[in-house]
Amino acid sequence: MIVTLWRRTEHRRRVHSNVLRSSLTFGAACAITIVLAIPLDAATPVAHQSTPTTLFGVGVARCTFVDHSRSLLSYSTVPFRVRSTSRTLVTEIRYPTLSVVGGPAEAVGAPPVARSGGYPMIVFAHGYDVTPDTYAPLLDAWVRAGFVVVAPFFPDENASAVAAQPHANTEDDLANEPADLAYVTRSVLSASAVETSNCPAAIGLVEPTEIALAGHSDGAVAAGMLAYDHGVDPQGINFANLRSGIDFRAVIILSGAEETTQSYATEATRPDLLVVQSRLDQCNPFRDGVQLYDNIHQSNKWFLQLQTAHHLPPFDGVDKSAFSVASSTTLRFLQMSLEDVSPSPSLLALGNQRPAIARMYSGVNGPALENAPKVKENCGPN
């Protein structure tokens, strides 16, 4: 079977970590350094609303969801051919568990701390040629504050899949990833409501009305498409139908861009939007983040401008100063948007506390491009 694929017109946005990549297989879990602080009683459910001072440990589980309605392509042939009539989505779920001083960095398969009604959920999309584990410092920071993070391994863009198709442009599969995100979101919501054999770890984990969508680089493009696109994906599915019925209350775009071949529009539900973009990003130009921000016409939006950071280090923890601002600001945004926590100081004030590292904008008063530096584009290690 030969497939005609929707093609991107923008340059490739490869994301390569400048730290050692995880050597995990899909069947194993990773160990990442985190701070474990306050012990909790697992027998007693915590109150429905977490507080910013509550610190959890990080539990990790992996579930596999198979979407039999859509196909997986081979990009090593011209034209592209179908190599599977279904899409297998190995998904890593990080969730709050007991914090144990001196215990393991991550507790694989540990029981979650019970919470009445479940936890707010963040659906996270990784970038090109990496995995969700690349972002473990950021994702774990969210979990320690009381969020569940659900992150699929995209079947053609994760590091192992890219290596398995050398010299092939597997990044073309990005247009199929919004549907992957929607399918995984619905699968986890279903597994949280009714225990399933393929994902028993998810039972009772998620509050279905408190969902955020986030992504970095190509993953941010996919998240933006799912949140705002009004076109049709390569397999003939309307993006508006993909997100129908999912209560996304917040969207986080980390070094992303608008897919200009599709028609974006502000949604009637108007989820809170946070764009994080560096002026010196060598892989995703600053103007692309500004363009997406400006084209979403709503007042409940924020833009965190990183002053000197590059593409990946603010989100994998390598750039400690930029990571500190990005992690604290995204966390406050999530608490405000999903848990109705009244931020003090305000989100705007928080993002402006370290002006040499970052500047925060809100509403229609977004960043200007007139004085944006000219940066040579390079999507290699940065």
Please tell me the pTM assigned to this model.
0.86
C-alpha angle with apex 23: 252 to 27, nearest 5 degrees?
80
- Residues counted in the chain: 382
Asked if residue 119 lies in contact with residue 208, where contact means CB atoms within 8 angstroms, the answer is no
> What's the average pLDDT block by block, 10 residues per block, for the chain (382 residues)?
38 42 35 33 40 77 95 78 88 93 79 95 96 97 97 94 86 92 97 94 96 97 94 87 93 93 78 96 93 92 96 96 97 96 89 97 90 78 50
Closest of 280, 305, 286 to residue 359, by C-alpha: 305
DSSP states of 181-250: HHHHHHHHHHHHHS--SS-GGGTT-EEEEEEEEEEETHHHHHHHHHHHB-SB-TTS-BHHHHHTT--EEE
Per-residue pLDDT tens for 217-227? 999 999 999 99
Confidence at residue 5, expressed as pLDDT on a 0 to 100 scale: 37
Question: Beta-carbon neighbour count of residue 53 at 10 Å?
Answer: 8
Per-residue pLDDT tens for 128-169? 999 999 999 999 999 999 999 999 999 989 999 889 888 888
Strands (E), the chain: 57-67, 72-74, 81-84, 87-97, 107-108, 119-125, 148-152, 206-216, 248-254, 272-278, 301-306, 358-362
My answer on whether omega of the bond before 79 falls inside 30° of 0, hence cis, is yes
CATH number for the domain running over 57-362: 3.40.50.1820
Q: Could you give the angle at which helices 218-228 and 177-193 cross, rounded to 10 degrees?
A: 70
Confidence at residue 380, expressed as pLDDT on a 0 to 100 scale: 66
Per-residue pLDDT tens for 269-311? 799 999 999 999 999 999 999 999 999 999 999 999 999 999 9
Q: In what order do the strands lie in the sheet with 248-254?
A: 107-108, 57-67, 87-97, 148-152, 119-125, 206-216, 248-254, 272-278, 301-306, 358-362
Confidence at residue 27, expressed as pLDDT on a 0 to 100 scale: 36
304/273 Cα distance (integer angstroms): 11
Confidence at residue 33, expressed as pLDDT on a 0 to 100 scale: 31
What is the Cβ-side half-sphere exposure of residue 284, based on CA atoms within 13 angstroms?
A: 32
